[in-house]
Structure 1
């Protein structure tokens, strides 16, 4: 069984944690959900982000999500790909040098990488977006540009693929980005 590394953390977006984790398991991957400073059995708190007529999204408490693998036990060679949740967690996860080294490994080895929403902040901090076309939550677009990436302004329901990299602006794009991530992972789903 192929393994996927799933990076999340406290106050990651609820849907961007729960849905991809469950969908990747559904198609048969062993998904290791990790967070720096957490071990198997610990939980993270998620946040629900929604638009309620304000100039930006609102944040409500989400669910507790159980981490099923210890961050300190991650061996990047064991994984076929990595997925990165969005929400607020990436703004502090990108400060962890081991997180950045892990992400860099997936780019150096050309393994599949998926990131949604603010998860792209980790990619920018890892220095892996230079010369790449990708999307993100619009408020993260300037970070993509500053880091040398080519920000793609696409509908929130879509995904953008550039080689081994799949990105989407936010959780409404789950169906699109997960479908594209599965394709580059070599998964074929027949209906």
Structure 2
């Protein structure tokens, strides 16, 4: 039986940070359920494409419509082997949803593999459970990470940080790192 991954999304999730993990995990045989609060299977989230073009921050363009394949209200957390939190703008407002925060708390409490990319760690910060943990994120999230008692690790954009069951990275430029480490946490044999 394939391992199940919960991919947590919201409108204006970062396009690459949604599409790439979804496609890779599915290609490797994982069952990936894509969910968003207040949406059901067949609905979609709008994505945003972020790029680094020499400005003081990333630029943002409208991406694609990404179709969800699972009703948010039908998620049974005990069925999942791992949680993947995409970045972009969606974590900023999803962290205010009690059900979303409870999903993150469940995976943290049960030491199940979690990957959070870019702004995704904002949802983990909202759990109040990161004190003493080490993680990275998009640099603008660093103050939030430090404020909750966790250690922000500054890394090059193509690297990931692993702390027990948690792997984080600053952006889609680190897909190889974050996905390889997430797969290792899931028990896959990866040649790095």
TM-score interval for Structure 1 and Structure 2 normalised by the shorter chain:
over 0.9
Is 2:51 aligned against 1:50? Answer: yes
Rounded Cα–Cα distance in structure 2 between residues aligned with 1:35 and 1:91: 14
The offset of 1:130, in angstroms, is 1.1
Where do 5+ consecutive residues of structure 2 fail to align?
A: none
* 2:39 aligned counterpart, secondary structure: coil
2:189 equivalent in structure 1: 188
1:4 equivalent in structure 2: 5
2:89 equivalent in structure 1: 88
Mapping 1:18-29, distance limit 5 Å:
18-29=19-30
1:35 equivalent in structure 2: 36
Rounded Cα–Cα distance in structure 1 between residues aligned with 2:160 and 2:190: 18
1:115 equivalent in structure 2: 116
* 1:139 aligned counterpart, secondary structure: helix
Rounded Cα–Cα distance in structure 1 between residues aligned with 2:78 and 2:134: 26
Is 2:129 aligned against 1:128? Answer: yes
2:154 equivalent in structure 1: 153
State how many pairs are aligned: 191
Q: Is the CA contact (8 Å cut-off) linking 2:180 and 2:190 kept in structure 1?
A: no
Q: Which TM-score applies when normalising by structure 1? A: 0.98
The offset of 1:26, in angstroms, is 1.1
Q: Which TM-score applies when normalising by structure 2? A: 0.97
The offset of 1:128, in angstroms, is 2.3
Deviation string, structure 1 residues 5-42 (Cα, Å, up to 9, x no partner) = 00011000000000011111111110000000110000
Rounded Cα–Cα distance in structure 1 between residues aligned with 2:54 and 2:148: 31
Deviation string, structure 1 residues 77-101 (Cα, Å, up to 9, x no partner) = 0000100000000011101000011
Report runs of 4+ in structure 1 exceeding 4 Å deviation: none
Q: Is the CA contact (8 Å cut-off) linking 2:184 and 2:190 kept in structure 1?
A: no
Using the TM superposition, name which of 45-54 and 162-171 deviates more. Answer: 45-54
